[in-house]
Amino acid sequence: MDCCNRIDKKFFNAKKLSKKVFLIYITAGYPNLKITEELILGFSKIGVDIVELGVPFSDPIADGPTIQKASKEALDNNVNLSKIFKIVRKIRNKTEIGLIIMTYYNVIYQYGLKRFIADCKKVGIDGIIIPDLIPEESKYLVKLSKKHNVRLIFLLAPTSSLDRIKLVSKYSSGFIYCVSLTGVTGERSNLPEIRDYINKVRRHTDKPIAVGFGVSKSYQVKKVLKYADGVIIGSAVIKEIERNINKKNLVENVLKFVSKLKEERERVNKVKKKRLSYV
């Protein structure tokens, strides 16, 4: 474990204590960057382990209507990568919460690959997720991210072949992002059975596995954490922001919503600890 990377620390310490990692996705700059900063600091206080900061983009191919809408509104407010880095630098003076940038390759390409990775390191970004970047075309970015101790996280899907699982297992660092279903992000009333899928991935890696896409309810958190090392919740949080968009207590209400979902993580942790006490 590289002791200098917060993602590694979160998963290492969680495994050591037989606990699970809780990740939240929000679109940076939705509804504005001030709220983004307040939410991240609030997430840190209530025990969220890692926050994925989505960079608004005009063609977010992996995202469903909820995140697409949030992304468009952030773009309308002229939110860009430079402004996001500026707010992250401020946040880093107040919290050690894990921070991941989730963006599309064109955004990084336009910004400049070397500059992007160097700035991630400089402001305190711990990892990067690029849904439209495949491992075969990532070698230069993998090299840069290793140099600057920034984790480059790749995705797998239930339809991923054995060769794809092995390739992602080789190149992904920090953790492997297992998409729970085929399709885009968004709340789902039911998630598919993931046991066989996660077990298949686990047979080919010793890296942590986090599951996202479609997770929005407490019982779904419980279901995911039965097999995965971490759970990622995004669209449901964006929806909660949207429901409170004109309210003064927006941040407070979103934190309450996230806390309720996080309670299921705590219950899973307690059950695992109780089982271990009988070993």
Rounded to whole angstroms, how far apart are CA atoms 55 and 174?
A: 20
Distance between CA atoms of residues 7 and 124, nearest Å:
12
Token couple for 152: 């480059």
| Active-site annotation holder among 63, 73, 229, 240 | 63
Alpha-carbon distance 122 to 107, whole Å? 18
Is 37 a residue of the active site?
Answer: no
User: Torsion-angle region of residue 149: left (phi > 0), alpha (psi -120 to 50) or beta?
Assistant: left
Catalytic residue among 8, 49, 52, 229: 52
Q: Tokens 């336009």 identify what position?
A: 110
CA distance 50 to 21: 8
Q: Respond yes or no: is residue 63 known to be catalytic.
A: yes
Task: Give the single-character DSSP code of 217.
Answer: S
Q: Give the catalytic positions in this structure.
A: 52, 63
